[in-house]
Structures are given as C-alpha cells and as structure tokens.
C-alpha cells in the first residue's frame, strides 16, 4: 500500500539516540577510505541523518548516510572493485544493530528467525516492510556487482544499503547503468574509483499496518571519481573520466537513465531535493591535488 504525505523538505525526523564506534558524527580514518580525499558529500550537514560505517566480518566495507525517519539510505559511498559482475546470491539480508542499541556490535547482523523486529524497526527497515511490495524490489545503492571479494559482496546485503526500486526500473535501465559503469571502470580506471549513489524523495511511502514505513525514491542518482585513468581510452569513454554521473526516474515508464557531468547532476539535485546550495558530491569536484585546474576548496 502506498500513501502520499506532504512535508517541507525532510522535517520532523526521528532522532534515535545511540552510541558506538561506527554510527557516529564523524568517520574514523579506516572508514574515510571509501570517500574521495576522505571527505563526505557536503551540503547535507544540517539534516539529522545517521552516518554508518558498514562493517562486515570485522572490516569496514563502505559508508552510508541513513534516514531513520524514512528507513532508507540517502546515499552509499564505496570504492569500486574490478569484477566480472557476478552476484553473491546466498547471502541472508542483514540489519545495523547500532542504529537501535547503545551496545550493539559494530558488524551488521543477520535478521533473527523469530519475529522480534520490534526491538529495532523504529530506526530502520526490516524484512516485513518489503514482504508485500509487489511493485517494488530491494535495490542496492552499493551493488554487489561493483565488488569483487565475497565478503565485500556479502556486505551489500544489508537493508541499510537498500531502497524500494520499481521492478521494471531495477532490472532494466538502472541495472544496465550499473553494468555500463562496471565495464567502464574495469577497463579504463587505473587507480581507485570512488562512487556515491543516492536517492531523492517526494513524500510517497510504503505502509505496513497503516504506518508509514519506507520512503519511496523518486530518482536514483550516482557519480564516480577516478583521477588515475587511461588517457588512451576511446574518446567516448575518456570524455567521461575522471568523473561522470547519472540519474533515472524510479518508475515503470519514462525511466531512462541519463548520463551527465557531476556539476549537471548537482544542479539537478539542488532543484528536486533537500540539498543546500553548497552541495558538492566530491571534494574539489574530483580535481586531482596539485593539478593546474585544482581550485581552492572552501569548507
């Protein structure tokens, strides 16, 4: 069941009080490694979202900015790993203990077999939220096909990395975009490729037991930054490096994914969502340090 609510931006957010090492106000160095120049996208600082360093099997895997009111990630940021695009299909879905308890383990955990979701469903999505959503599928912002190591793939199967995606969009245009980016970065990125994939919302929700449970993304967007790339790549690909971006409408129709510059994406997001005028996805626009084109970064 879908309902529409109207609100100005994202207000009346539920603030969940917590402590712990990995859900925190600022990331540790081991978690900043997934961000270009160790810097979060700026322009969202005034929103009371939760920063999650996604740990699996004792190691950080990627980072997520999470909306505990809409129970969906705002974005996930990760390092792309060269892969053949295979999926790890035998992984159970997991949740983030530290969003709900003051002493939870830092590793994401498998959902319990018993129906005890009440202990943490106020702060995050649970499996029941997706159980009757015929139109929607669980769409990963950090997709497993952009990772290589089995544990890195497994770590993408947490509901804190998932948003409701319309099935036709998820298995069609957006999946093709993920394939395109994988092939491009596989072939032409020589160093680390930093990726940020996020969403916009407009107030539509998935309801369960007559309660708003999941915000439904209006658009999905993604951008990457790879400053060490193959300068001999074909122009059609070289022109999309070191950085490029895209967005698509999360719908069954008119859902073509459009590629564009990161600046064009930022301008688009400033018009359709809650980011501030200072919004910037990558530090200094992904201009390499000491480059002749490098601009002075203003905090």
Q: What does DSSP assign to residue 133?
A: -
Q: Which helix (H) or strand (E) holds 178?
A: helix 173-188
Domains, the chain, in order of start with CATH, read 29-284 (3.40.570.10)
Please enumerate, as own/partner, the contacts of 17-21 that have beta carbons within 8 Å and a separation of 24 or more.
17/102, 18/50, 18/98, 18/99, 18/100, 18/101, 18/102, 19/102, 19/103, 20/98, 20/102, 20/103, 20/104, 20/106, 21/106
Answering whether pTM is above 0.85, one says yes
Dump pLDDT digits (tens) for 15-43.
333 323 356 567 889 999 999 999 999 99
pLDDT of the residue at 117? 55
pLDDT digits (tens, 9 = 90+) for 250-299: 999 999 999 999 999 999 999 999 889 999 999 999 998 776 554 444 43
pLDDT for 45: 75
pLDDT, tens digit (0-9, with 9 covering 90-100), for 62-106:
999 999 999 999 999 999 999 999 888 789 999 998 887 766 788
Which residues, in sequence order, are CB contacts of 216 under 8 Å at separation 6+?
Answer: 2, 136, 164, 201, 204, 205, 206, 250
């Amino acid at each position: 069941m879908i309902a529409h609510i109207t609100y100005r931006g994202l207000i009346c957010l539920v603030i969940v009080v917590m402590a712990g090492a990995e859900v925190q106000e600022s990331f540790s160095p081991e978690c900043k490694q997934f961000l270009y120049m160790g810097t979060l996208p700026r322009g969202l600082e005034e929103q009371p979202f939760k920063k999650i360093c996604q740990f699996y099997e004792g190691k950080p895997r990627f980072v997520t900015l999470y909306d505990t009111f809409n129970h969906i990630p705002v974005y996930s940021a990760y390092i792309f790993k060269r892969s053949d695009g295979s999926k790890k299909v035998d992984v159970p879905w997991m949740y983030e203990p530290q969003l709900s308890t003051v002493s939870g383990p830092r590793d994401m955990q498998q959902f319990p077999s018993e129906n005890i979701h009440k202990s943490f469903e106020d702060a995050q999505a649970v499996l029941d939220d997706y159980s009757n959503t015929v139109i929607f599928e669980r769409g990963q912002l950090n997709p497993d096909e952009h990772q290589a190591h089995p544990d890195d793939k497994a770590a993408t199967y947490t509901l804190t990395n998932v948003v409701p995606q319309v099935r036709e969009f998820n298995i069609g245009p957006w999946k093709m975009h993920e394939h395109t980016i994988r092939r491009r970065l596989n072939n032409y990125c020589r160093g680390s490729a930093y990726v940020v994939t996020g969403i916009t919302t407009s107030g539509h929700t998935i309801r369960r037991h007559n309660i708003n449970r999941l915000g439904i993304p209006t658009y999905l967007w993604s951008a990457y930054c790879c400053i060490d790339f193959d300068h001999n790549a074909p122009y059609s690909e070289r022109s999309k490096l070191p950085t490029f971006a895209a967005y698509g409408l999360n719908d069954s129709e008119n859902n073509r994914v459009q590629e564009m510059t990161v600046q064009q994406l930022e301008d688009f997001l400033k018009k359709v969502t809650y980011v501030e005028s200072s919004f910037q996805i990558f530090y200094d626009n992904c201009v390499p340090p000491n480059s002749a084109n490098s601009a002075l970064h203003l905090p």
